[in-house]
Amino acid sequence: MDTILPVLLFVVIAAAVSVGLIILPRLVAPRRSGAVKEMPYESGMDPIHDTRRRFDVRFHLVAVTFLVFDVELLFLYPWAVASRSPAGIDAAVAEGMLSSRGLAFAGGLIFILLVVVGFAYDWRKGVFRWR
C-alpha cells in the first residue's frame, strides 16, 4: 500500500486539476457571441472566397521546410546522445559493429553538411522570405 499511495495521489490530483481546468472557465469566463466569433477561420486567412480555393504555395513551402528540418534535427539527437555516452559508440566499436569512432563522427558531420546544404538551397530559393 505504501508504494501505490503516491501514484494514487498523483492520479487523483491530476484528475482534479483536469476537471477544474474544464469547469472553471465555464463558470467564470464571459459569454459574448457575435457575427465575428461565429465566422469560420482557418490557416491564417479569412474565408471570403470559395472553400475549394487553392492556398498560396508559400504555406506549403513553409510547412515542408519545417518538416524537413525538424525531422533532420530529430535524427541528430540520438547520434549526439550516443557519442557522449560511454556505452554508445565505444561499445559498438568494441563489439565490431563499427570499425572506428571516427566513422560515426564522419557520418554525423556528413549529415550536418547535408542539412546546411539544404538550408542554403532553401535560403537561395527564397523560402524564408515572406512576401
Structure confidence by residue, pLDDT tens digits, 59-114 = 777 788 888 888 888 888 877 777 777 677 777 777 777 777 778 788 888 988 98
What was the pLDDT predicted at 48? 66
Q: Total structural domains in the chain? A: 1
Phi, psi of 109 (to 5 degrees): -65, -40
Tell me: pLDDT of 52 over 90.
no
* Measured distance CA(25)–CA(53) in Å, rounded: 36
Residue written as cell 501514484? 7
Answer whether residue 105 is part of any domain: yes
- pTM confidence score: 0.48
Answer whether residue 5 is part of any domain: no
* Measured distance CA(127)–CA(69) in Å, rounded: 13
Answer whether residue 112 is part of any domain: yes
What's the burial of 104, exposed, middle or buried (CB within 10 Å: 0-12/13-18/19+)? buried
Q: How many C-beta atoms lie closer than 10 Å to residue 72's C-beta?
A: 15
Answer whether residue 117 is part of any domain: yes
Answer whether residue 111 is part of any domain: yes
Answer whether residue 89 is part of any domain: yes
Answer whether residue 6 is part of any domain: no
* Measured distance CA(123)–CA(92) in Å, rounded: 38
Answer whether residue 109 is part of any domain: yes
Domain of 66 in residue numbering reads as 54-125
